[in-house]
Every structure is written in C-alpha cells, then in structure tokens.
Amino acid sequence: MQVDELLKPFPIKEFHPFPRGLLGPGSHELIGPEALKLGFKKTLIMTSGLRGSDIVHKISESMKYHGIDVVIYDKVESNPKDYNVMDAVGLYQQNDCDSFVSIGGGSSHDACNVNEFEGFNKSENPKNPPHIAVSTTAGTGSETSWAYVITDTTTDPDNPHKYVAFDDASVTTLAIDDPVLYYSCPIDYTAQCGFDVLAHASEPYVSRLNFQTSLGNALHAIKLTAENLRTAVWNPQELSGREGMMYAQYIAAQAFNSGGLGIIHSISHAVSAFYDTHHGLNNAVALPRVWAFNMPVAYKRFADIARAMGIDTHGMTDVQAAEAALAASIRLLRDVGIPERFVDVTQDSYSKNRLGQGPTKFYENAKEIKGDGPDVDRITNHVLGDACTPGNAKECTFETVRPVVEHCMTGDLDDLLT
C-alpha cells in the first residue's frame, strides 16, 4: 500500500521489520563467524573502496580466514547510481556469489538491493540474498531500514531522477555498527552524516503519519545527536561521541522505518539528483527551512524537540519553544561547519560532492549549483514527486514548497529567526 493511501482512509499503520544488529566497539570483528552462521560461502563485498583505510582489507581477510570466498566491488559512488547496482549484479552472477557484505555508508548498503527498483514493495522476488551491512559512518540507517535510494541516470539529463524505494525484502540480514570504524571518517563528512541523523529523527516525530511506536525513538535520537555530534566532529578520537552518534543514527532509522519522512529528504534527493551532492549535506541545508515551514502545524512537537536538544523551555509558550528548537538547529549547523546555502556548496566543500563529475553525460551541466528560477522550479517538481513527501507534516503544493526550495538555494538562515 502506498503511503498516501495509508494517510487518508483509515488509521492503520504498518510496522516494518528490523534486522538483527550487533552494536558496539569491536563488533565488526565478529563478521567472519556471523557470516559462517548465515551460510555464506562466496560473498560479494560492496564498498566505495574506503580509500585511506584498511577496513575493507581487514573484513575481507577475516572472511577468508573463516573459509568464505570473497569478490570485491569497490566502485559504489556517493548517491549510488543505477549502473553501480547493475555492474554489481553482473559481478555477483558471474562469480556465483550467494551473499552480500556492504561496507561503508548508505550508498554501499543501498546498492545491494538487486530486486525491482522504485515504489513500495515492488519486488518480484520474496527476498534479497542474505546481506550483512557494516556501517563506517554514523548517519545512514540503511543497515536497519527498509528504504533505499538510487539515482537513475537513464532519464533526460535535463530532468534527472533520484528515486526512493521501500521494500521489506530489502532489509538486511544482519546490521553491524562499530564506532571504532568511524575514527577514519573525515570531519566534514562526520558533520554532514550527523545532520542526516537529525533529519531521520525529526521528520517522523512531526510526520502526519503520527506513528506512536516511532515517537520515543525519534525524540531520543534527537537528544543523542544534540549531545554528541559536536564531540564526534571536533574530537573524533573520543569514543563517547562516536558511540553516541552510532546509537543516534541506529535509533533514528528505527523511527523513520515505520514513522515516515518528509520534504527534508525530498529536497535532498532532488538536489543530489541534479548535482550529485552529499545526502547529509543536503539534509543539513534543508532542515532549518523545512522545520520553519512545518512549525505552524506542529508547534507542540517542535517544543518537545527543543527540550530534547537541551533547551530549558520553562516559561516559554509552545511557539517560543519551537522557535528555540529552530535556533538550536542553526547553531548546531554552524558549530559543525556545514555550508548554509546550496549555492555555497562547491566541489571543495567535500570530496564526496561530485559537481560536474561522473562517467555519464548526466552530470555535464552540474558544475555549479545555479539556484536560479528554472533550477528552483525543477527541483520543486522533483520534491513533489518524491516518495517521502506524503509524510511531511504540512501539506505540500508547488506554491508552498517552491519558496522553501528557493530559500535553501540562496536564503539567509538568520531570516528564519526574525
């Protein structure tokens, strides 16, 4: 059933499954025995390559030690592309693999989904091959959710499409979250992934789905992010910050898994479809604008978010507390050094922002984010077609969403506070 169908006729909500998980320092060292228990004999490791670290080598050698043959596909791109998925499928089939191990962030995990693509529970197969997902970032949640996102490069280069799929068949078999693996994560990537967590947590908390089983997890993930992200970014070898963000991202994913998302994610998907910018960065830029957009229909919920972020709201009205939450989100964004507008994002903002790059003509016109009228229009149209949009707290139309997108492009965040 589509999300918009769930929202309208009756109050039945669907609770989607989680995989088994191993969380905590050293958990990645159990991958060999765990793969054996799951019956792995020849596995395809999906990764971006994780250049500059030995994580892939250590995990592959552990699996070989336990008698499991390994084939490595290390060409997964940020914002995984359809051709990444299909190339990996070809390698999987050519080598008679029986399982997946994904190592990295959401891109590596999502690219393992070899069933049907866009839509809700569209898979023709009842389930994917067994899959162990090892996260090396604190942000994605893909290791424990039923959602995955793929960029379609076969569409018109002037109207690219990044689609969201939700499928119970895509849930991994085992999730491994080890904060020790986060130590090599760069500062700016850590910050951007952290805002992915804040988006994952805040959107289900204010979603029109209002799924009660998600609300506690959402609020606690917001609290953990507010308490730990600055430490994870600026003192990256401090275990407490890395472990706090590990739990925050895992819990936030369990919140949105059934509680839904909104147009923070829809805007992020649209911008990365056109410009291949990093998903967490996109979420960070969009989040304060979307919070301001949604506040009129969810002041009480945003007042709760303020308290979760450590704000003393005694003596404040719900409106005042909600505005304090917005100010806290902007303060956090600035404290961890994230660009505040999309037009400020350049190739040098972070190496995963691939402006004007890529192996297809799809990216030739994406050397800089224009932010002009036509750019705002086409991104707004992409937002309105995104699968996350129906769950947004406030009803979305072209006329209401376009100013939000435009502000993300060129607006001053201080304007939201006046």
> What does the pLDDT average to over 292-319?
98
At 160, is the pLDDT very low, low, confident or very high (cuts 50, 70, 90)?
confident
The yes-or-no verdict on residue 120 having pLDDT over 80 is: no
The yes-or-no verdict on residue 154 having pLDDT over 90 is: no
Buried b (16+ CB within 10 A) or exposed e, 90-117: ebbeeeebbbbbbbbbbbbbbbbbbbeb
Structure token pair of residue 56: 């892939």
Please provide residue 275's backbone torsions phi and psi, each rounded to the nearest 5 degrees. Answer: -125, -5
At 72, is the pLDDT very low, low, confident or very high (cuts 50, 70, 90)?
very high
Bridging pattern class, strands 131-135 and 174-177:
parallel
Q: Residue 360's pLDDT is what?
A: 65
The yes-or-no verdict on residue 10 having pLDDT over 60 is: no
Contact criterion met (CB below 8 Å) for 172 and 144: yes
Highest mean pLDDT among 111-120, 144-153, 278-287: 278-287
Structure pTM?
Answer: 0.93
Q: Which residue has the higher pLDDT, 347 or 377?
A: 377
Q: Say how far apart CA 413 and CA 71 lie, in whole Å.
A: 47
Q: Residue 166's pLDDT is what?
A: 79
> What does the pLDDT average to over 191-201?
97
Count of C-beta atoms within a 10 Å radius of residue 373? 10
pLDDT tens string 204-249: 999 999 999 999 999 999 999 999 999 999 999 999 999 999 999 9
Highest mean pLDDT among 72-81, 116-125, 159-168: 72-81
> What does the pLDDT average to over 176-198?
95
Q: Which of 161, 364, 387 is nearest to 256 (CA)?
A: 387
- Least confident stretch, 27-36, 322-331, 364-373: 364-373
Query: What is the average pLDDT score of the chain?
Result: 90
Q: Residue 246's pLDDT is what?
A: 97
Q: Residue 406's pLDDT is what?
A: 98
The yes-or-no verdict on residue 9 having pLDDT over 50 is: no
220 exposure class (CB count in 10 Å sphere: 0-12, 13-18, 19+): middle
